Amino acid sequence: MLRPPGIGVVVSAVVAAGAMGVLSGCSVVSALPLLEWPGGDRDNPDVREAAVLDAPHPWWESFDDPVLNRVVEAVLESNYDLATAVARVEQARARARIATAARLPRVQALLGAVEFDAPTNVGLGAQLEDLGLGNDAFAAFGFSLPDRLDQATYSAGAEVAYEVDFWGRDRNAALSAGAQREASEADYRAARMGVVVQTVATYIEIVDLNRQRGFAGETVEILREWVTLAEDRYDRGIGDIRDVYALRRGLADAEASLPGVNERLADAEGRLTVVLGGQDHAGLMGTLPDKMPVSTMAPVPTGLPAEALAQRPDVAAARQRLAGARFALGARRAALLPSLSLSGSIALQSPDTAAWFDPDQWFRNLSSNLLAPVFQGGRLRADVALAEAALDEATATYGHAVVAAAAEVEAALGGLESNRQRLALVSSFAEEARAEATLQEQRYASGIGDYRTFLAASQMNVGARAARASAERDLAYARLALHRALGGAWSPNAVGMGGTHREVGEPPVFAGERAEEEAEGG
């Protein structure tokens, strides 16, 4: 069986790479490398959207079928499942931006106007009256208080609040949200892979059913010739009626199989319409090929690197969720420690807007608070325990994803090789049947062969061609299974649907350290 050597070593390497940071035992988590996106700027929305929504290596084109290419491109543009997955990606991106914003200072502008209008015999005026400083006292100096006090005060300024992230709580929360964003984008790629695989499988089924319908029609025509020949021999007294009955039953069975083939074909076309988002598939399909494109396959490398498993969307999603769980645990642990918050404001206040730029009208204040959790009924400790359990779950999920991926790759490689061998054997038999049918046709045309032998050879030729078509279909399915198991393509220069193009053996590009540096830099 063709398989990558040391597949167990590959699995161990991938699992170890993902869990290494988890088991390090740090009080605040260290960096788990996150798979880098092609394009450079991770936080540029345009770059990230292009990286998620555009597959750099359309592996289905390796089938070398223009009709299939048109169908897949139409599906990627109109499928509702992919539209749903894109919406989930946008939600995850928004949550990541919210978490990142929590690490920055909060600045608010303020603008106010207060108008004071009250009688002088209340408030301060009443207190002056009680002290003997009312109008009578002021009259001795030649002036008196007005009956009402009217004053307007205008203010403008800014308030700033910032929590110093000493222990990395906000930083880890932002990194956790970023990892969840990466996981959501990997989920999109997994959904995209699933939709494309479903599309290709349905297309293969439609092509095969069309071919089988053609073979069934040829078989019916040959059996009708057999029935006519048997009836003629019986009418001339040299045939057996039992042969006539047997051939009629065979003809009836062959004719009865045609509606079943048509029904399965209609069902497959209906499923393709659903995948196409309701589009009419007839215009896209055009003229279907006469055979499966199984002879143009790129050779599978005898050794697959660890990143061949890590590039699978489901493995990448599990890896990012593991990273997110680690960072979430760091945030929960940091919440147990004291927090320092700073706040301040700078503003001006004046009864006249013309005096706003007078330095004497400006004021400022600055305050700081050091808060330490004392008693919250065990809520914070329970949050840590919850995060630890979530980390254990994510670790187990990641390990299972890698092991399952390795098993699928092995099964797909074995299935591909066995179907190749079967096709070679069936093709050899089909060539012999074709040669025999050609020979008997020539013998019958030259008058040295009988019609019954010619019909028998023709029927065997149709059966052999149908068997070869089935073997080609099974090989196409096996090839598709390997594409799915590897997460896309397996060519030496491009691995996967959404990963970075690189040569086999070149170490993958990681972004965990860069993400932490960006987080530290704010």
**Total residue length of the chain:** 522
Side-chain-side CA neighbours of residue 475 (13 Å) = 25
Q: Give the model's pLDDT for residue 393.
A: 94
Report how far residue 10's alpha carbon sits from residue 426's, in angstroms, rounded to the nearest whole number: 35
* pLDDT tens-digit readout, 51-95: 444 454 788 888 888 888 888 888 888 888 888 888 888 888 888
Q: Check: CB of residue 288 under 8 Å from CB of residue 219.
A: no
Residue 312: its pLDDT value, please?
A: 87
Residue in 129, 118, 125 with CA at minimum distance from that of residue 151: 118
Whole-number pLDDT of residue 300? 64
Residues facing residue 164 across a β-bridge: 340
Task: Report pLDDT for 430.
Answer: 92
What stretches in the chain show pLDDT beneath 50?
Answer: 1-10, 13-14, 20-54, 56, 492-522
Do residues 200 and 72 lie in contact, with contact meaning Cβ atoms separated by under 8 Å?
Answer: yes
Q: What is the pLDDT at residue 149?
A: 67
CB within 8 A of 351, min separation 6: which ones? 151, 152, 153, 154
User: Is 1.20.1600.10 the CATH classification of the domain at 7-101+176-335+376-521?
Assistant: yes
pLDDT at 348: 77
Bridge partners for 364 per DSSP: 346
- Secondary structure letter of residue 504 according to DSSP: T
Boundaries of every domain in the chain = 7-101+176-335+376-521
pLDDT tens sequence across 196-250: 999 999 999 999 998 999 999 998 998 888 888 888 888 888 878 887 888 889 8
The SS3 call for residue 375 is coil
**Contact in structure between 326 and 21 (CB atoms under 8 Å):** yes
Give every CB contact of residue 331 below 8 A, 6+ residues apart in sequence: 168, 169, 170, 172, 173, 176, 387
In the numeric block, which tokens belong to residue 152?
Answer: 């307007």
Residue 475: what pLDDT?
A: 92
CA-based nearest residue to 406, from 320, 477, 487, 502: 487
- Give the pLDDT of residue 225: 87
Sheet of 106-119, strands arranged across: 106-119, 148-164, 339-350, 362-371
Rounded CA-CA distance 158/154 in Å is: 14
63 close to 472: Cβ distance less than 8 angstroms = no
Query: What per-residue confidence (pLDDT) applies to 135?
Result: 62
